[in-house]
Amino acid sequence: MTETVAADRTGRAYLAGLNRRGRLEWAVAALLTLLLLRLLWSLVRNENLLLGEVVGHLLHPDVLAGVWLTVRLTALVFAMAAAIGLVVIRMERSGNPLLGGLAAAYVWVFGSIPVLVQLLLWSNIALVFPDITFAIPGVHLDAMRLVTPVYAAIAGLALAMGAYAARALPDDDRLTASGDILVTTLQATSLVSVLSITDLLGVVQALEERNHLIIPLLAVAAIWYLVLVTAARGAIHLARLARVRGQAHSR
């Protein structure tokens, strides 16, 4: 009897604790919501943001062209990075110590050097190798003409993201890992603007130099990246749901 009463009291105390914690969580959530709404309202009312310019440039032809280049660059680099990552994983699991060592060295080097530094190195590769021969007699390629900013961007991003893919893809849920690689690749493409490539950020920076609308145009870039990343994550989520339904039907 005594044990029953003690258990009942413990249960009531536990439920009371949950109720207090729930009320506290609701109070914190309400406060954060109010702060967020206040921030959004201040942005809308802020004349320095020039909201009309933001809306007016969202569908600007140059901005749309930059968005399209960003999408194409993301798709190409993602495909190359995934292929590189799978090859590296195969090398690591081959059981050959030399192949495993080469794979580990690749992941260490290209996974450690910042992507921006890799892009700058590739864009200036002609300063180190003015002639590209591939060790083939009679082959002499002018690196200055061959390695254009676009090719340097593709090489730098693909090798860097390939190292990231090699670390991410061995996870049990490769679909989720692929989604993370896709989003990371999309975000990393913004770095190619340093090579004067007219991706989304590059176009925005070019427009800034002409009309000096720094904050409105950066807001345009931020909105578009939000749209693109949300779309990528949404596509991965739909693919995951389709896989789950397919597995359920096959049982």
Run of H or E residues at 80: helix 61-92
Residue 145 confidence (pLDDT): 79
SS3 131: strand
The residue with tokens 């190619």 is 192
Amino acid at 58: L
In terms of pLDDT, which residue wins out, 146 or 84?
84
CA distances from 158 to 74, 102, 164, 184 (A): 10, 17, 10, 12
| pLDDT one-digit tens code per residue, 12-48 | 665 566 577 777 887 888 889 999 998 888 877 777 7
In terms of pLDDT, which residue wins out, 26 or 180?
180
Residue 4 confidence (pLDDT): 56
Nearest CA-CA partner of 214 in 56, 48, 61: 48
Nearest CA-CA partner of 67 in 233, 231, 236: 231
Beta carbons of 221 and 204 less than 8 angstroms apart: yes
| pLDDT one-digit tens code per residue, 114-125 | 999 999 999 998
pTM over 0.85: no
Nearest CA-CA partner of 155 in 89, 243, 81, 82: 81
